[in-house]
């Protein structure tokens, strides 16, 4: 009850007439739509919602878990036609179309100065701000980076690469041993976008990357080409597994588990299925994507997943209470621990679970990412741009020689998208 109380403080001011005594248990309905369809996140959310229910036995909670990929196309329908009270989504540009269409509730009141949310979630406020207002709350974020088979690296006498040359020479040794360096399943396009993000952040730096996202740089620019040239080196030497264009990311994991590929560039959510696949923490390790252009500050992708209130929601007070509950340090600590989501809590007072990969990720993001923190390609770039570019990445990874044509095409879209 304690965190529920303090979180509702912010909303009392606006909702005092409706909310009545805020310390009372919530009544009425609360409809929640979730995209957390993978087993571990699903169980985590269900546990947390069950706790919220236990605290508010009078509240009638309905939860819909929708397949994560399907959710991305269904959101526009349910936001306008059959709006839930609370829904999961993503920060930055991914929420922009819905904010502009007036489908998400302005929750700036929850972020008002002096509230716990404003104090404890300050680091992610920017990602949830559009037009000076906040449109949701973050519930988790996670690092991206290279997860690799430590035992195979040791067997071949390799160490974590410190720069791009190391990365290439490691890869040559892997290929010489009959393995692939990196596994990737690129059917749904975003995995390839992760590679572009990192290669571009390391080749040209965070500011350049963000200028690209804002549409200020031509895709045929020589600096962009440099990023693709570095990528091309890896592709041409056979670093990636074959047929990656029609595998999804889950289908790419077995290559890592059976040792036919040595590493994967992925978000921390890959750790749970890799562990379930039989890899122990002695076999699996993590390192930051190595530097490419010397002197460029390291920048990382750390996508933030969010909760929002639909503008058409019927029970906005209950929804605000739920949002406040989900970002409280207790809920954050529990939700993100290794046994549950296995990701990083957004609340600065929450503690990071003592998990090998979470510790490494937290340390990397807090001490070695001076360049900046990006959301992710398809969250930083506008939708139309992201679609066209990611399709180009997919083609580039199979036919690197088509580069000129691909860049021309993406540039054509850039001219019209902004």
Partner 1 sequence: MANTSPWNKTLAKQGWYKRNEIAITPWLFLLPALIMFAIYVVFPILQSFRISLFKWDGLGSLATHGEYVGMANYEKLLTRDRSFNISIWNNLKWLIFYLASIPAGLFIALFLNQTVRGIRLYKSLFFFPFVISQIVVGLVFTWFYDPQFGLFNGIIGFIGFEPINVLGDPSLATYGVIAAGLWPQTAYCMILYLTGLNSVDPEQIEAARLDGAKGMRMLWHVILPQLRPATFIAFVVTIIGSLRSFDLISIMTNGGPFGSSRVLSFYMFEKSLSEYGFKMGYGAAIAVILFLIMMVFIGYFLWRMYQDEKITN
In the complex, least distance from residue 383 CB atom to partner 1, rounded to whole angstroms: 4
Residue with tokens 């909760």: 307
Closest by CA to 140, choosing from 269, 285, 243, is: 269
The reply to whether 155 sits near partner 1 by the rule CB under 8 A is no
Residue with tokens 């410190």: 162
Region binding partner 1 by CB under 8 A among candidate stretches 92-100, 161-169, 201-209, 353-361: 92-100
The reply to whether 392 sits near partner 1 by the rule CB under 8 A is yes
The reply to whether 129 sits near partner 1 by the rule CB under 8 A is no
Structure tokens at 174: 């892997």
Residue with tokens 């169980």: 43
The reply to whether 102 sits near partner 1 by the rule CB under 8 A is yes
C-alpha to C-alpha distance for 111 and 275, rounded to whole angstroms? 37
In the complex, least distance from residue 33 CB atom to partner 1, rounded to whole angstroms: 16
Return the number of the residue (202 or 247) whose C-beta is nearest partner 1.
247
Biggest alpha carbon–alpha carbon distance for the chain = 72
In the complex, least distance from residue 193 CB atom to partner 1, rounded to whole angstroms: 11
- Count of residues near partner 1 by CB under 8 A: 30
Helix H segments across 56-115?
68-80, 96-100
Q: Which of 67, 82, 100, 216 binds partner 1 (CB under 8 A)?
A: 100
Q: Which of 98, 148, 219, 322 binds partner 1 (CB under 8 A)?
A: 98
Query: What binding mask, one character per residue, do residues 167-196 give for partner 1 by CB under 8 A, x or -?
Result: --------------------xx--------
Site residues for partner 1, 18-77, by CB under 8 A, read 69, 72-73, 76
Structure tokens at 151: 């035992």
Q: Which of 3, 51, 97, 275 binds partner 1 (CB under 8 A)?
A: 97
Pairing relationship of beta strands 372-374 and 299-301 according to DSSP bridges: parallel
Q: Which of 7, 61, 103, 327 binds partner 1 (CB under 8 A)?
A: 103
Strand pairing partners for 141?
304, 344
Pairing relationship of beta strands 304-309 and 299-301 according to DSSP bridges: unpaired
In the complex, least distance from residue 215 CB atom to partner 1, rounded to whole angstroms: 16
In the complex, least distance from residue 405 CB atom to partner 1, rounded to whole angstroms: 10
Residue with tokens 């074959």: 242
C-alpha to C-alpha distance for 312 and 328, rounded to whole angstroms? 25
Check residue 82 and report its DSSP letter: S
The reply to whether 246 sits near partner 1 by the rule CB under 8 A is yes
In the complex, least distance from residue 235 CB atom to partner 1, rounded to whole angstroms: 14
In the complex, least distance from residue 67 CB atom to partner 1, rounded to whole angstroms: 13
Q: Which residues of 229-253 are buried (b: 16+ CB within 10 A; e: fewer)?
A: ebbbebbeeebbbeebbebebeebb
Closest by CA to 301, choosing from 92, 39, 139, is: 92
The reply to whether 391 sits near partner 1 by the rule CB under 8 A is yes
Q: How far, in whole angstroms, is CA 171 from its chain's centroid?
A: 27
In the complex, least distance from residue 205 CB atom to partner 1, rounded to whole angstroms: 26
Residues of this chain that bind partner 1 (CB under 8 A): 69, 72-73, 76, 79-80, 97-98, 100-103, 187-188, 242-243, 245-246, 378, 383-384, 386-387, 391-392, 394-395, 398, 409, 412
């Amino acid at each position: 009850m304690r965190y529920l109380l303090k979180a509702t403080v912010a909303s009392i001011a606006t909702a005092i007439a409706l909310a009545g005594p805020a310390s009372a248990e919530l009544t009425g309905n609360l409809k929640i739509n979730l995209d957390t369809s993978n087993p571990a996140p699903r169980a985590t959310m269900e546990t947390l919602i069950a706790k919220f229910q236990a605290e508010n036995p009078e509240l009638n909670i309905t939860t819909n878990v929708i397949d994560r990929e399907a959710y991305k196309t269904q959101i526009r329908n349910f936001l306008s036609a059959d709006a839930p009270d609370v829904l999961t989504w993503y920060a930055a540009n991914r929420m922009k179309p819905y904010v502009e269409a007036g489908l998400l509730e302005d929750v700036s009141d929850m972020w008002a100065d002096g509230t716990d949310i404003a104090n404890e979630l300050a680091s992610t406020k920017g990602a949830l701000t559009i037009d000076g207002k906040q449109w949701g709350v973050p519930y988790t974020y996670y690092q991206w980076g290279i997860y690799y088979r430590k035992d195979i690296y040791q067997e071949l006498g390799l160490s974590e690469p410190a720069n791009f040359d190391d990365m290439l020479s490691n890869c040559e040794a892997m290929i010489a041993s009959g393995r692939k360096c990196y596994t990737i399943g690129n059917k749904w396009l975003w995995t390839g976008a992760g590679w572009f993000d990192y290669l571009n952040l390391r080749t040209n730096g965070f500011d350049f990357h963000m200028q690209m996202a804002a549409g200020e740089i031509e895709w045929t620019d020589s600096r962009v080409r440099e990023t693709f040239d570095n990528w091309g080196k890896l592709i041409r030497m056979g670093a990636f597994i074959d047929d990656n264009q029609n595998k999804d990311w889950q289908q790419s994991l077995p290559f890592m588990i059976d040792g036919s590929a040595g590493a994967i560039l992925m978000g921390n959510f890959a750790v749970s299925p890799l562990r379930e696949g039989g890899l122990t923490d002695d076999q699996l390790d993590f390192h930051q994507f190595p530097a490419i252009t010397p002197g460029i500050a390291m920048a990382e992708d750390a996508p933030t997943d969010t909760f929002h209130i639909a503008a058409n929601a019927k029970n906005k007070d209950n929804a605000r209470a739920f949002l406040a509950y989900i970002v409280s340090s207790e809920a954050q600590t529990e939700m993100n621990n290794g046994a549950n989501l296995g990701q990083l809590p957004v609340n600065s007072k929450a503690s990071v679970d003592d998990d090998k990969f979470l510790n490494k990720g937290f340390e990397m993001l807090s001490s070695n990412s001076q360049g900046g923190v990006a959301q992710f390609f398809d969250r930083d770039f506008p939708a139309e741009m992201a679609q066209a570019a990611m399709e180009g990445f997919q083609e580039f990874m199979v036919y690197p020689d088509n580069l000129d044509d691909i860049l021309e095409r993406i540039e054509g879209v850039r001219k019209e998208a902004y």
